[in-house]
Amino acid sequence: MKIFEKVADVREFVTNAKRQGKVIGFVPTMGALHEGHLTLMREAKKQCDVVIVSIFVNPTQFGPNEDYAAYPRTWQQDLELCQSVGVDAVLHPDKDEMYPEDWGTWVEVEGLTGVLCGRSRPTHFRGVTTVVTKLFNIVQPDKAFFGQKDAQQVVVLMKMVRDLNMPLEIVVVPIVRDEDGLAKSSRNGYLTAEQRKAALVLRRALNRADVLARQGESNVDFIQSAVRACIELEPLADIDYVEAYTFPGLQPVTELQQKVLIAVAAKFGTTRLIDNIIIEPAGR
């Protein structure tokens, strides 16, 4: 497995692979790799000839009071995990390699970024779309793999790729969960045992939405309220949002007539977790 710290070096690797006609798969990550990331990498291995993983804790997607400095960095373990699933190359640039001193060009998606996580993290998606554009230009993948867990991120990136005519396909991979149902996240490690147990309420609440939809409930406000009520029963959960939007359009919705994303975010102590489910009208 190759390890690159410089953009120029990974570019050379990519150019050679492309010259040989290889299909390039790309999994951008911030490290602290878990089963969710590994699932993306395995899917990339299935669909592509060469798999490149980036490990870069991207400062521009963290707000001033967020956990950039504290974000878990587990470099040695990450490398071993990449190797274990057969990744071909890891790109691990430092901050200055990605953002030199006089850097300043942003990619911004309108319309989808002011809801859900974009409301409490107003500059987050601008940081994500910008760094992903940079990484796409560096790695030039044919396919890039993202997890459904960051549902809004997926929708925003798909719009960016379409709007800017980027020559690649975004592949979305379902949420990976621990046995107890908690969605895999690099931030789960912050949780105390008690908080972790409490956090299971998110999955329970989203399952409730699914059950209601399957039973024929089509009032989205009602479903949303039921999810909120379920989470409110957990005293350790501090709700950031419980929202419902059409998927993938992220438009407001009242009747369940198409795919609807129910997305939740809540804090357990200082740790903010997100989870989501996509529900459909009964009988589909």
Sign, CA dihedral 105-156-69-84, equals negative
Closest separation in Å from C-beta 93 to its own copies: 10
Q: Per-residue string for binding with its own copies, 62-101, x by CB under 8 A?
A: ----------------------------------------
| Segment contacting its own copies by CB under 8 A, of 107-115, 174-182, 205-213, 224-232 | 107-115
Q: 283: phi > 0 → left, psi -120 to 50 → alpha, else beta; which?
A: left
Backbone angles phi, psi at 154, to 5 degrees: -60, -45
Whether the Cβ atoms of residue 47 and residue 171 lie closer than 8 Å to each other: yes
Q: Per-residue string for binding with its own copies, 164-203, x by CB under 8 A?
A: xxxx------------------------------------
- Among positions 16, 84, 137, 270, the unique one binding its own copies when judged by CB under 8 A: 137
Q: Which of the 8 DSSP states describes residue 42? A: H
- Active-site option among 34, 37, 92, 124: 37
Residue 48, C-beta contacts closer than 8 angstroms, at least 6 positions apart: 22, 23, 24, 25, 141, 142, 143
- Residue identified by tokens 């949420």 is 175
Whether the Cβ atoms of residue 231 and residue 201 lie closer than 8 Å to each other: yes
Nearer to its own copies, 76 or 105 (CB): 105
Closest separation in Å from C-beta 109 to its own copies: 5
Q: Closest Cα to residue 219, out of 260, 277, 275?
A: 260
- Among positions 39, 133, 152, 224, the unique one binding its own copies when judged by CB under 8 A: 133
Closest separation in Å from C-beta 137 to its own copies: 4
List of residues contacting its own copies (CB under 8 A): 7, 11, 19, 21, 102-111, 129-130, 133-134, 137-138, 140, 159-160, 163-167
Q: Which residues are catalytic?
A: 37
